[in-house]
Structure 1
Amino acid sequence: MVEVLSPSAPAVFDADKFRQTTRAQWEAAADAWDRWSPLLNQWLGAATDAMLDLAGVSPGARVLDIAAGAGDQTLAAARRAGPNGYVLATDISPAILQHARTAARKAGLSNVETRELDGERHDLLPAASFDAAISRVGLIYFPDQQRALAGIRHALRPGGRFAAVVYSTPERNPFFALPVAIIRRRAQLPAPLPGQPGPFSLGGEGVLARTLETAGFRDIEVRRVDSPVRLPTAAECVRFERESFGALHQMMAGMSDAERADTWREIEETLARFETPQGFTGPCEMLVGAGAR
């Protein structure tokens, strides 16, 4: 999932408006996100495996998948949990969860259920009802990360583990950070407001570990996972971002059609630096952080 910004951002971060915009963006982007599932699987496969390892997902486990999206990692968790296990995939967007249900059915996985649920409201689930919880590129976008983590701890049994995949720093993720910077400059957007969620909100040195510790998790571990985005050309990377990263369009909301076209052109020209005769490789680094309840 991606940073949600408005070209006329208020002086104080509006968490409720952010949630509404996030839901609307993912409702609109759900079909495209599902179409790009093969790329997502390749791009985030190593980080997903590390997340499932650190969460301790094993045969028979009951797993909670938060901000599950179209469900690629949901299916991976369901396969690990096996027929005697269970995975509940939650997301703020019912449209994208429909893709997760369809994918599970096509894969012959009967141990997957979905539920529309805000990422900060897992306190609504029965207490201590899951052995493991996971979130792939979701925690970074919750307006109140501590509230979200409190709900996740509520749903985990004592000793159960939570693991999350997040971006590290902008410098290590130029495939995404460069487009955001170009749009921000061209749209004359202000810097992110204090406390505003976004892709790099947990990427700084020690931030993810401290966030988990503050929430009461113990035995914390954080791993760095090299996760390059590999595509035939920079133009294909731009197509992926245009179709799937709805927040980039939101940032351009105040631009004319011509200005938007020029902005995408500059983004493609900038990302072309990552093209080689073998194709496009966009540098990306993910962090996988985990802890026990």
Structure 2
Amino acid sequence: MTTTFDPIAFKTTTRAQWENAAEAWHRWGPSIERWLGTATGQMLDDVRLTEGSRVLDVAAGAGGQTLAAARRVGSSGHVLATDISPAILRFTADEAAAAGLSNVTTLEADGEDLSAVPDGSVDAAISRVGLIYFPDRVRALEEICRTLRPGGRVSAIIYSTPDRNGFFSIPVGVIRRVAGLPAPGPGLPGPFSLGGPGVAEAAYAAAGLVDVTVTTVPSPVRMANAAECVRFEQESFGALHQMLSGVDDTARAGAWREIEEALGQFDGPEGFVGPCEMLVVSGTRP
């Protein structure tokens, strides 16, 4: 049986899942920053932020990278954080206020429709583990490109290939089997949708971006043990919740038990060290 992908339904479900997972993603923030901190630094370096830069953060989530960008651009700069989930943006706004960062604003927006952001109004655009989940990532990149001034830079963090990301690909594989889900076809959204050789570069080129670079950043996930990693993913990974939405409670619980057992292979003397490799993909608006 062939199932036709419905991007509108996908976005509706994605929004609902992140509305539900927002508090957990925020709560796990310190662990997320330890995990993605190096890749985030590379992303911010690649867009060449300076004092006074205007930054667009697309699919900002709970905003760890938003705050990092805001600190770099200083009080004379500005960061606009956008996301499809208003609940998760509230955490971004609260964290910015608590940190005394008055140069951050938020906007509920679909990354494929940034019409509220004027043409050429930002110097740089960033997206951390968000671009992979857009049904039409070329359209999203075109929208981002439109908001950049000529010479402005965009940089996104994405996962590389499943074999380099066992902490995530193993749960995805288990859940796909339990839920009876086929592997996503080429071009469809998913965690590894842009990680293959040349795929992200082609999307950037199709959107009109030039000087495209890809930097590989080893990003191991470090937790106390596999059980803690499973709690992290179970509570806060919207994509996994979405994949499990069609199974009953018993099957869902069984899937998580199987995932914990499989991830146990990454437990060791230093705790859990889950394999993860990120790519930082950057380009320039001509």
TM-score, normalising length: structure 2 = 0.97
In structure 1, the residue matched to 2:102 is 110
Counterpart selection for 2:176 from 176, 184, 187: 184
1:165 and 1:288 in contact (8 A); partners too? yes
Which of 8, 13, 25 aligns to 2:5? It is 13
In the TM superposition, what whole-angstrom CA distance separates every residue of 1:41-82 from its partner, at most 9, and x where no partner exists?
A: 100000000000111111110000000000100000000000
* Distance in structure 1 (CA, Å) of the matches to 2:7 and 2:37: 31
1:147 aligned to which of 119, 139, 145: 139
Q: Could you tell me whether the CA contact under 8 Å between 2:13 and 2:242 is conserved in 1?
A: no
Stretches (4+) displaced over 6 A: none
Q: Secondary structure of the equivalent of 1:122?
A: coil
Q: Which runs of 5+ in 1 are unaligned?
A: 1-8
Partner in structure 2 of residue 228 of structure 1? 220
Which of the residues 262, 275, 278 maps onto 1:270?
A: 262
Partner of 1:99: 91
Is contact 2:124-2:152 (8 Å) kept?
yes
1:193 pairs with 2:199: no
Which letter does structure 2 place at the counterpart of 1:98?
R
1:210 maps to: 202
- Equivalent residue, structure 2, for 1:247: 239
Aligned counterparts of 2:20 and 2:69: Cα–Cα separation in 1 = 26
Q: Please, which moves more after superposition, 190-199 or 85-94?
A: 190-199
Q: 1:81 is aligned with what amino acid?
A: V
1:123 and 1:154 in contact (8 A); partners too: no
Asked whether the equivalents of residues 14 and 242 of structure 2 are also in contact (C-alpha less than 8 Å), the reply is no
For structure 2, which runs of at least 5 residues remain unmatched after alignment?
none
CA distance in 1, matches of 2:241, 2:32: 20
Deviation at 1:205, TM superposition (A): 0.9
Give the secondary structure class of the aligned counterpart of 1:163: strand
Aligned-CA RMSD value:
1.2
**Identity across the alignment (%):** 61
Q: TM-score, normalised by structure 1?
A: 0.95
Residue 13 of structure 1: CA displacement?
0.9
Q: Deviations over 1:197-234 (max 9, x none)?
A: 01101100111112111111111111000000000000
